A and B are shown apart, each in its own frame.
Chain A
Amino acid sequence: MKTLVCIGCPNGCELSVEEKANDILVSGNMCPKGKEFAINEIKNPVRSVTSTVKTVYEEVPRLSVRTNGEIPIKYVFPLMKLINTVEVDHPAKRGEVILKDVFHTGVDVIATSDMNYMLRGVK
């Protein structure tokens, strides 16, 4: 029996997880996301990553980015390394793909700020 705190939403449900033969029993979750989270935590824990990338613009030196899905926890630090090699040289839009299909996970790193707004105060 293992206890976990679900990170799916601010409720932060305390989950009890029990591994039985071929099954994983989850209790304490208020929604199905909790069960999915607990099973992932046992089999293959995944996380989203948020960070910033360098830009060529002096007034806006960093652009915020995030993964548009979750990646296995073992790729978190390697992804940080990769993110820190990027330099954005154009006014990226919110949602624009900055790094595609990182570590063949099918997950992209996308921009989360609008550089046009940050540079010029317009959309």
Chain B
Amino acid sequence: MDNYDVVVLGGGPAGLAAALASNECGGKTLIIEREKLLGGILKQCIHDGFGLIRFKEKLSGPEYSGRYIDMVLEKDIDVETSTFVTEIKKQGEEFLITIVNSKYGVKKIKAKAIVLANGCRERTWRQVFIQGTRPAGIYTAGTAQYFVNMMGYLPFKKCVVLGSGDIGLIMARRLTLEGCTVEGVYEAKSTPSGLSRNIAQCLDDFSIPLHLSHTVTRVFGDDRLNAVEISKVDEKMIPIPGTEKIVECDGLVLSVGLIPENEIAESLNIKIDRKTKGPFVDQNLMTGLEGVFSCGNALHVNDLVDYVSESGEIAGENAAKYAKEHKDRKLIRMNADSKFLYAVPQYIDINSLNQKVIAYFRSRDIRDKMTVKLLYDGQVIFSRKYNKLKPPEMERITFDISKLNLKDNGEINIVMEG
């Protein structure tokens, strides 16, 4: 049986960074990837803007992942592609992983630590409850992106985009450039979900209208989509009767959110945070189950790949260290107040040698001139002023806990003050 210090599940940007960091720390490392090639979703994200923080360059998705793939292939890191994990069991201190592929059939592997880098999935139209028939021509933005960028097919002549997430905006531009008419982008919320610069460069540049507080309430068509019904929605996102309009189109693109992929975490009974939809973790990105780490979009949905790589590095490094030796954790809670959508990590291990905490958070609403503070035992241990906080833009902070003398009955509270 093959024995590894660290097995990384997923060969996208998080998994690649995790494997490199684990290897760097001396961990014998294996990446398991279900697709034929490494790179994850970046393979089809041909637009640029990746890597501004990491490489100080404006790269396309395949270039960003390509650089990491090159580094992984140069190192002594094992890679199994076209391989699925069917089961993971914890046996004492170790993990027994069952994999299946065409090379070995069914095979068992042992690992001292596991990094979950499974990424996320797109929410589908089944999950947004649109009424009507079930015609062809309705795709998630990622599927439309696969058709256009990987296969070279243009799936529509005239389409409507539902949801203003970044991939939807990017696809509105991409489809327009390839000759499709994008009638408009409709967003049920009263504020856009995507980054401002994507509204500017993907919609405004091509005069594609963005309709806030509107949604698709019905689809029409037998074999093929031929129209959608659009309605205005109230502040609770409930459609307002009498506001319906029909838009003729042969395509509907859905960009209605991403959900971390955690089937394997759930099979291990790892506790999932309802806010992030990823596992609860400490500053080393270790989940509630000792020896299992989480990173990238499986942990929480990021808007920048640079932060996905960063969290991969944290998880990979700490997984390799854990595989070598570890002591018991002493976890204290890190709570974000209701003005935040979420904050990660949710716990701090006060026994850990890692005293430099990197935390990520999102504001629940758009807010001007706010101060974000971390409080411990009534003391302000971190404070930063923000001109503007927006839900689509994740914020990153770092703080040092080495001089704080944290007690195991304490907790850290993250608050926002205006």
Contact = CB atoms under 8 A, between A and B. Distances in A.
A80 B176 CA distance: 11
Nearest to A93: B66
B303 A10 contact: yes
Contact of A112 (B37, B46, B177, B204): B46
Contact of A5 (B36, B47, B152, B196): B196
B238 to A, nearest CB: 30
B389 interface: no
Nearest to A94: B66
B60 A117 contact: no
B201 A47 contact: yes
A113 B177 contact: no
A4, A51, A113, A122 interface centre (most CB from chain B within 10 Å): A113
B47 A50 contact: yes
A10 B197 contact: yes
B81 interface: yes
Contacts of A56: none
A8, A76, A77, A118 interface centre (most CB from chain B within 10 Å): A118
B152 A121 contact: no
A47 B205 contact: yes
Contacts of B150: 61-62
Contacts of B41: none
A50 B197 contact: no
Contacts of B36: 121
A48 B48 contact: yes
B208 to A, nearest CB: 14
B299 to A, nearest CB: 19
A12 interface: yes
A18 interface: no
Interface in A34-56: 47-52, 54
A10 B49 contact: yes
Contacts of A73: 205
A112 B58 CA distance: 12
A4, A7, A9, A47 interface centre (most CB from chain B within 10 Å): A7
B304 to A, nearest CB: 6
A115 to B, nearest CB: 11
B199 A5 contact: yes
Contacts of A51: 46, 177-178
Interface string B75-109: 00000010000000000000000000000000000
B60 A61 contact: no
A112 B73 contact: no
Contacts of A47: 201, 205
Contact of B196 (A12, A64, A77): A12
Contacts of B200: 4-5, 7, 12
A57 B22 CA distance: 36
Interface string B43-62: 10011110010000011101
A61 B152 contact: yes
Contacts of A50: 46-48, 60
Nearest to A79: B177
Contacts of A114: 62, 66
B178 to A, nearest CB: 7
A90 interface: no
A72 to B, nearest CB: 13
B60 A66 contact: yes
B149 A62 contact: yes
A6 B199 CA distance: 11
A62 B153 CA distance: 10
Interface in B343-391: none
Given A94-B66, A113-B62, A7 B201 contact: yes
Interface in A7-31: 7-10, 12, 14
Interface in B172-229: 177-178, 195-197, 199-201, 204-205
A2 interface: no
A64, A65, A73, A117 interface centre (most CB from chain B within 10 Å): A64
Given A48-B48, A80-B178, A117 B151 contact: no
26 contacts: A5-B200, A7-B197, A8-B197, A10-B393, A12-B393, A47-B205, A50-B46, A52-B148, A61-B150, A62-B149, A64-B149, A80-B178, A94-B66, A112-B59, A112-B62, A112-B63, A112-B66, A113-B43, A113-B63, A117-B37, A117-B66, A117-B69, A121-B36, A121-B81, A123-B70, A123-B73
Interface of A: 4-10, 12, 14, 47-52, 54, 61-62, 64-66, 73, 76-77, 80, 94, 112-114, 117-118, 121-123
